């Protein structure tokens, strides 16, 4: 898979997971592994540059919170991020349908 496509996938996954509830980095890495049944491994050190980029673009909001004596940076999706997620979801479905159709045609 090309890195550009993977970058789009990780962006989609992060926005999708954070739209459900706010999470901190380690929690997100675990959630990605669990929800994708380990099919997709977003490199854990790539996670933070991606989260900061999404925050910089205004799609995520970061908030420090003290939990069990430790300060964590929790990320949540902004309203601009929700719009971006809706757009990416539509795009992703369009591409996935196209790929399914092409695979179906070549196997059928």
Partner 1 sequence: MDEYYEQLVRGGIAPRRARRLLTEFDDHRADIVRERLELGESERDAQAAADERLGRVQDFVIRNLARPELKSFSARRPWAAFAVAPLLAFAASLLAAGAAIYFLLGFYSHVAPWNAASRSSQTVAAAATLFILWIAPFVAAASVAIMAVGRRRTLIWPIIGIALISFLASLINFQITLPVGYVQGSIGGGIGISSDPAKLASILAFTAARAAPVLALLMWLHSRRAQTAVE
Q: What's the CA gap between 4 and 14, in Å, rounded?
A: 15
Nearer to partner 1, 71 or 106 (CB): 71
The DSSP-derived string for 30-63 is: HHHHHHTTTS----HHHHHHHHHHHHHTTSEEEE
Determine, following the binding rule CB under 8 A, whether residue 6 of this chain makes contact with partner 1.
Answer: no
Q: How many CB atoms lie within 10 A of CB 29?
A: 18
Nearer to partner 1, 63 or 90 (CB): 63
Restricted to residues 82-101, the positions that interact with partner 1 (CB under 8 A) are none
Q: What's the CA gap between 38 and 31, in Å, rounded?
A: 10
Vertex 31: Cα angle to 97 and 75 (nearest 5):
100
Site string for partner 1, 44-83 (x = CB under 8 A): xxxxxx--xx--xx----x-------xxxx----------
For partner 1, which stretch binds (CB under 8 A), given 10-18, 25-33, 81-89, 97-105? 25-33
Nearer to partner 1, 65 or 94 (CB): 65
Nearer to partner 1, 26 or 108 (CB): 26
């Amino acid at each position: 898979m090309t890195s550009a496509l993977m970058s789009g996938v990780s962006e989609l996954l992060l926005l999708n997971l954070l739209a459900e509830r706010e999470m901190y980095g380690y929690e997100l890495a675990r959630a990605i592994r669990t929800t994708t049944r380990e099919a997709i491994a977003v490199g854990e050190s790539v996670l933070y540059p991606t989260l900061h980029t999404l925050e910089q673009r205004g799609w995520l909001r970061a908030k420090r919170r003290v939990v069990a004596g430790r300060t964590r940076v929790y990320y949540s999706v902004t309203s601009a991020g929700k719009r971006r997620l809706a757009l990416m979801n539509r795009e992703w479905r369009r591409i996935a349908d196209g790929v399914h159709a092409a695979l179906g045609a070549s196997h059928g």
